[in-house]
Amino acid sequence: MDNTENDVLTIINGIVTKCKEGLVNLVIPDGVTEIGVRAFSKCVERLESVVIPKSVTKIDSSAFYGCGHLKSVVIGEGVKRILSDAFWVCESLSSMVIPVGVTKIGDEAFGACISLKSVEIPDGVTEISEFAFKYCTSLTSVTIPSSVKTIGMFAFADCTALSSVVIQNGVTEIGYGVFTRCKSLASVEFGEGLTEIGNQAFLGCKSLTEIKYNGTMQQWEAVEKGKDLNYGISATIVKCTDGEVKLEQ
């Protein structure tokens, strides 16, 4: 794509590097391949909607950081990576459909999106990084697909409206403090591929009453569990496919 600088965007070597101050609604032109670092830093006061074409493969760090009026984002299926802080503090964003093809959700990518009520994470994502959805205080439920291998530390910490979580069979590692202070979390379902749960994964989850594990009691016993797994929660047992296991004190 040719370099472009007009009254809407600056595009250099296919990368959006800057937007016009005061921009409200935007359809990014086909042919753009990346949304650059802090590309929309001048649009934080008014930007409300963005359509990203399938030619884009990467949304770089802090691309939409602080765009507090951003309500609607449509991401094309060409995107492979959403990097750190990409949508940090996009306080008006209420839903997000992450397209098939994305493999990585970066550190704090959707952190502090306080109006985000729903997020669809597709099969194909392999990594949910540290703090990815921290402080998403309106998020009510989440399903982690089997393609995900690791969930980074504090990825869903302080999601205070989160009530249910389903973690499918491919996930092997849940990091430190992943669901810390999710005070509305009532039920969690683990897949049988799980091998490790980090320290204080459910610290402060005072409403957690049901833990289900889609493997046998023997498999559950083999899972490496960090300290304080059951600290401050109401659940006392784990329901496995062949019986129940008492949570270790």
Q: Are residues 24 and 132 in the same domain?
A: yes
pLDDT tens, residue by residue, 47-86 = 999 999 999 999 999 999 999 999 999 999 999 999 999 9
Instruction: Flag whether 193 is in a domain.
Output: yes
- Determine what percent of the chain falls in helix, strand and coil, rounding each to the nearest 5: 5, 30, 65
Question: To the nearest 10°, the Cα dihedral for 54, 56, 60, 65?
Answer: -50
How high is the pLDDT of residue 228? Answer: 87
Q: Are residues 1 and 99 in the same domain?
A: yes
Q: Distance between CA 230 and CA 214 in Å, rounded?
A: 19
Instruction: Flag whether 154 is in a domain.
Output: no
% the chain with pLDDT above 90: 93
pLDDT tens, residue by residue, 165-184 = 999 999 999 999 999 999 99
SS3 16: strand
CATH number of the domain that residue 110 is part of:
3.80.10.10
Instruction: Flag whether 156 is in a domain.
Output: no
Counted domains in the chain: 2
Give the pLDDT band (50/70/90) at residue 230.
Answer: confident
Instruction: Flag whether 169 is in a domain.
Output: yes
Instruction: Flag whether 157 is in a domain.
Output: no
For residue 7, pLDDT over 80 is answered with: no
Q: Are residues 3 and 114 in the same domain?
A: yes
Instruction: Flag whether 105 is in a domain.
Output: yes
Instruction: Flag whether 147 is in a domain.
Output: no
For residue 88, pLDDT over 60 is answered with: yes
How high is the pLDDT of residue 249? Answer: 58
pLDDT tens, residue by residue, 186-216 = 999 999 999 999 999 999 999 999 999 999 9
How high is the pLDDT of residue 247? Answer: 87
Q: Are residues 23 and 120 in the same domain?
A: yes
Q: Are residues 53 and 15 in the same domain?
A: yes
Q: Are residues 80 and 169 in the same domain?
A: no
Q: Is 28 exposed, middle or buried (0-12, 13-18, 19+ CB in 10 A)?
A: buried
How high is the pLDDT of residue 1? Answer: 57
Q: Distance between CA 229 and CA 200 in Å, rounded?
A: 5
How high is the pLDDT of residue 229? Answer: 84
Q: H helices of 142-190, where? A: none
Q: Distance between CA 228 and CA 165 in Å, rounded?
A: 19
Q: Which of 82, 106, 139 is the last residue of a domain?
A: 139
What tokens were used for 98? 């992450």
Q: Are residues 166 and 66 in the same domain?
A: no
Instruction: Flag whether 6 is in a domain.
Output: yes
Q: Which of 139, 170, 185 is the last residue of a domain?
A: 139
Q: Are residues 78 and 166 in the same domain?
A: no
For residue 4, pLDDT over 70 is answered with: no
Q: Which of 139, 172, 188 is the last residue of a domain?
A: 139
Q: Are residues 220 and 184 in the same domain?
A: yes
DSSP secondary structure code for residue 98 in this structure: P
- Short-list 77, 143, 67, 132, CA closest to 104: 132
How high is the pLDDT of residue 5? Answer: 60
Q: Are residues 10 and 66 in the same domain?
A: yes
The residues facing 243 across adjacent strands are: 240
Range of the domain at 113: 1-139
Q: Are residues 28 and 66 in the same domain?
A: yes
Query: What pTM value is reported for the model?
Result: 0.95
Q: DSSP letter string over 106-155?
A: -TTTTTT-TT--EEEPPBTB-EE-TTTTTT-TT--EEEE-TT--EE-TTT
pLDDT tens, residue by residue, 9-58 = 999 999 999 999 989 999 999 999 999 999 999 999 999 999 999 999 99
Contact, 215 vs 242, CB < 8 A? no
Q: Are residues 67 and 102 in the same domain?
A: yes
